[in-house]
Amino acid sequence: MSSNSSRTEPIAQNIIKLISNLCFSVFVFSVLIFTVIAITYHPPDPWLESTPALTNLFTQSQNATFRIDSSVLKTGEDLAPSPQDPPLPSPPPSASAVTEAVIEKSEQQIANSTANSTADSTDSTDAALPSPPACDGTINCSNPRVRIAIQRFNLRAFKSIAFFDYQPPVNGSVAGECDVAWRFRNKRERSWRKYRDFRRFKIAVTDDCRYKVVHAGGWHSGANARRNMTRSGAARGGKTLPPRASARDDEINDTIPTLGSETNFRNGKYLYYSRGGDYCKGMNHYLWSFLCGLGEAMFLNRTFVMDLSVCLASTYNPSNKDEEGKDFRYYFDFEHLKETASIVEEGEFLRDWKNWDKTHLKKKIPVRKVVNHKVTPMQLKKDKSTIIWRQFDAPEPENYWYRVCEGEAAKNIQRPWHAVWKSKRLMNIVTEISGRLDWDFDAVHVVRGEKAQNKELWPHLDYDTSPDVLVEKLKWMVQPWRHLYIATNEPYYNYFDKLRSNYKVHLLDDYKELWGNTSEWYNETTLLNNGKPVEFDGYMRVAVDTEVFYRGKTRVETFYNLTKDCKDGVNTC
Render 267-335 in DSSP notation, one character per residue.
H--EEEEPP-TTTTS-HHHHHHHHHHHHHHHHHHT-EEEE--EEEEPGGG-TT-S-EEEEEHHHHB-HH
Nearest CA to 58 among 47, 314, 239? 47
Whether 189 shows a pLDDT value over 90: the answer reads no
pLDDT > 70 in the chain, percent: 80
Q: Which residue has the higher pLDDT, 239 or 478?
A: 478
Determine the pLDDT at residue 115.
63
pLDDT at residue 92, as a whole number: 54
- Residue 236, pLDDT > 70, answer no
DSSP label at 432?
A: H
204: left (phi over 0), alpha (psi -120 to 50) or beta: beta
Question: pLDDT confidence of 494, banded at 50, 70, 90?
Answer: very high
Q: pLDDT for 206-234, tens place per residue?
A: 888 889 999 999 999 999 998 754 334 33
Q: Could you give the CA distance from residue 267 to residue 551 in angstroms, rounded to a whole number?
A: 46
Average pLDDT over residues 314-319: 85
Sorting pLDDT into bands at 50, 70 and 90, what band is 5?
very low
Looking at residue 234, its pLDDT comes to: 37
Q: Helix (H, G, I), strand (E, B), or coil: what is residue 229?
A: strand
Average pLDDT rounded to a whole number, residues 34-62:
46
Residue 192's pLDDT is: 83
CA dist 135 and 138 (Å) reads: 8
Count of Cβ atoms closer than 10 Å to residue 403 Cβ: 23
Average pLDDT over residues 148-153: 94
- Predicted local distance difference test score (pLDDT) of residue 117: 58
Does residue 202 have a pLDDT over 50? Answer: yes
- The bridge status of strand 177-186 relative to strand 170-171 is antiparallel
Lowest mean pLDDT among 186-200, 270-284, 514-528, 554-568: 186-200
Tens of pLDDT, residue by residue over 511-552, are 999 999 999 999 999 999 999 999 999 999 999 999 999 999
Q: Are 521 and 429 in contact (CB under 8 A)?
A: yes
Span 109-120, pLDDT tens digits: 877 776 665 555
Cβ–Cβ under 8 Å, residues 58 and 283: no
Quick one: pLDDT at residue 33?
74
- The confidence score (pLDDT) of residue 568 equals 87
The pLDDT value given to residue 60: 43
248 pLDDT band (50/70/90 cuts)? low
What integer pLDDT is reported at residue 131 of this predicted model? 60
Edge to edge, the sheet with strand 367-370 lists: 343-345, 303-306, 270-273, 387-390, 367-370
Distance between CA 141 and CA 134 in Å, rounded? Answer: 11
Q: What pLDDT score was predicted for residue 246?
A: 47
Residue 240 has pLDDT above 90, yes or no: no
**Hey, where are the domains in the chain?**
100-229, 253-419, 437-562
Q: pLDDT tens digit string along 438-464?
A: 999 999 999 998 899 999 999 999 999
Q: Which residue has the higher pLDDT, 96 or 451?
A: 451
Output the CA–CA distances (angstroms, integers) from residue 401 to 268, 274, 281, 391, 433, in the order listed.
23, 9, 12, 9, 37
What's residue 233's pLDDT? 39
Residue pair 206/212 in contact (Cβ under 8 Å)? The answer is yes
How far apart CA 476 and CA 464 sit, in angstroms, is 15
What does the pLDDT read at residue 328? Answer: 96
At residue 368, the pLDDT reads 96
pLDDT band at 51 (very low <50, low <70, confident <90, very high): very low
Beta strands in 12-54 (DSSP E): none
**133 Cβ contact list (under 8 Å, min separation 6):** 145, 209, 210
Write out pLDDT tens, residues 495-508. 999 999 999 999 99
- Rounded mean pLDDT of the chain? 83
Query: Which neighbouring-strand residues pair with 488?
Result: 446
How many CA atoms does the CB half-sphere of 437 hold within 13 Å? 28
The model's pTM: 0.80
User: To which H or E segment does residue 367 belong?
Assistant: strand 367-370
Q: What pLDDT sits at residue 101?
A: 86
Distance (Å, whole) CA 292 – CA 501: 49
Q: Output the pLDDT for position 200.
A: 96
Q: How far apart are CA 199 and CA 435, in angstroms?
A: 11
Q: What are phi and psi of 208, to 5 degrees?
A: -100, 25
Measure the CA–CA gap between 510 and 508, rounded to whole angstroms.
5
Residue 560: pLDDT over 60: yes
Max Cα–Cα distance, the chain, nearest Å: 130
Sheet holding 442-446, edge to edge: 504-507, 483-488, 442-446, 555-556
Higher pLDDT, 553 or 51: 553
